Chain A
Amino acid sequence: MAFIDLSRNEIQAKLVYYGTGRGGKTTNLLYIHESMSKQVCGKMVTIDTKGDRTLFFDFLPLSVGKIMDLSIRIQVYTVPGQVMYNTTRKLVLRGVDGVAFVADSLRVQRQRNIESLENLAENLQGEGLDIREIPLVLQYNKRDLIESNIPLLTIEEMQEDLNKNLGVPYFEASAVKGFGVYETLREISKRTIKNVIQKVGGQLER
């Protein structure tokens, strides 16, 4: 649910990074937080357990320019990826405007990626949203591991598994090294804001 405050000329939208446990959602946010100027990005809040897994969510507020004279504020969240935390994921998805799905390129995670995407579709449906209609991008993370001997899924395999029916933009990335992180954020922000403006455009004429 985007929120538009005409007294401050501001639009707030909610982005959620979704995906399997240990897939790199928090690392995406950390990279953005560390590399963006402090004027653009606020304080990162993270609620995790000792084992560096996200317990509740991570949260990062960003101010990213203007559209139709409205300043855009984007609230970026991650969800805990572990299967057992589904209630928490549902809570974080409440009022979501756009989703970046972070898929783990490790071959051993193949089935978990598919299950996590199915879980996303199911939880969105619980919110009255359709995965085929909500702004969505895919990120194939950990591509830097291709230089090591760890077996990775090919891009074609990941496209076949995850994007065959959706046909949304996808990005190869390494959240640890930083490549693909901004491309993902830029595309999902763009799509989300465009979608919000389309939905409320008529009501904004003052």
Chain B
Amino acid sequence: MHVEMNTILDASYMGNLATVIDKELLDAGAEHVIIVDVTGNLIMERGNLHMKDISSLAVLSAANFAATAEIAKLIGEEDFTLLFHKGDRRSIHFSRFGKEYIIITLFDDNVSLGLIRLKSGRAIEELSSILYGNEGRQRWPL
């Protein structure tokens, strides 16, 4: 897959992404939300956790997607669009949107996985329309 060459995002664009994340995910109880691209670039983070190793998280998440895409191929799928890892107190939900972006949601055991799935689906619809324009909204519906 060819990834689009250099990406430049200006402040108003980032502001729009932040508004969607705040409204759909953080207000629903998610602790921290991160958007990365499939090559591991950190695009933005929102939330209350102070994570020193955020770039490592971004890179490993992208790698995780890439690795599971190989598993997907073994069972006749192109890749998986959603991954979930459950921890004792904190869990992590990954969802790919478009061909290039991954939204990562960290949440604790006060929030249900179902709610995060529902809310990240809605967030993706809105984020796609920002990142890909109106066309994106139609190409990646819920």
| Chain A residues with a Cβ under 8 A of chain B | 1-7, 12, 14, 42-43, 45, 47, 56-57, 59, 61, 73, 75, 77, 87, 91, 94-95, 127-128, 196, 199-200, 203-204, 206
Contact = CB atoms under 8 A, between A and B. Distances in A.
Given A57-B63, A75-B40, A94-B38, A3 B56 contact: no
Interface in B1-47: 1-11, 13-15, 37-44
Contact of A61 (B9, B37, B55): B55
Contacts of B9: 3-7
A4 B14 contact: no
A12 B36 CA distance: 12
Given A1-B5, A7-B15, A196-B6, A12 B42 contact: yes
B41 to A, nearest CB: 4
Contact of B11 (A2, A7, A196): A7
A57 B66 CA distance: 12
A105 to B, nearest CB: 30
B60 interface: yes
State the main secondary structure of chain B at its contact with A: mixed
Interface in B81-118: none
A75 B57 CA distance: 13
Contacts of A12: 41-42
B53 interface: yes
9 contacts: A2-B6, A3-B43, A5-B9, A6-B8, A42-B53, A45-B59, A57-B63, A75-B40, A203-B8
A3 B7 contact: yes
Given A3-B41, A7-B14, A94-B38, A75 B59 contact: yes
Interface of B: 1-11, 13-15, 37-44, 52-53, 55-56, 59-60, 63, 66-67, 70
Contacts of B56: 42-43, 45, 59, 61
B44 to A, nearest CB: 8
B5 A199 contact: yes
B108 to A, nearest CB: 23
Q: Of A1, A47, A203, which is in contact with the most chain B CB atoms at under 10 Å from its CB?
A: A1
Nearest to A127: B2
B15 A95 contact: no
A86 B11 CA distance: 38
Contacts of A199: 5-6
A161 to B, nearest CB: 31
A23 B5 CA distance: 30
Given A1-B6, A2-B6, A56-B63, A95 B55 contact: no
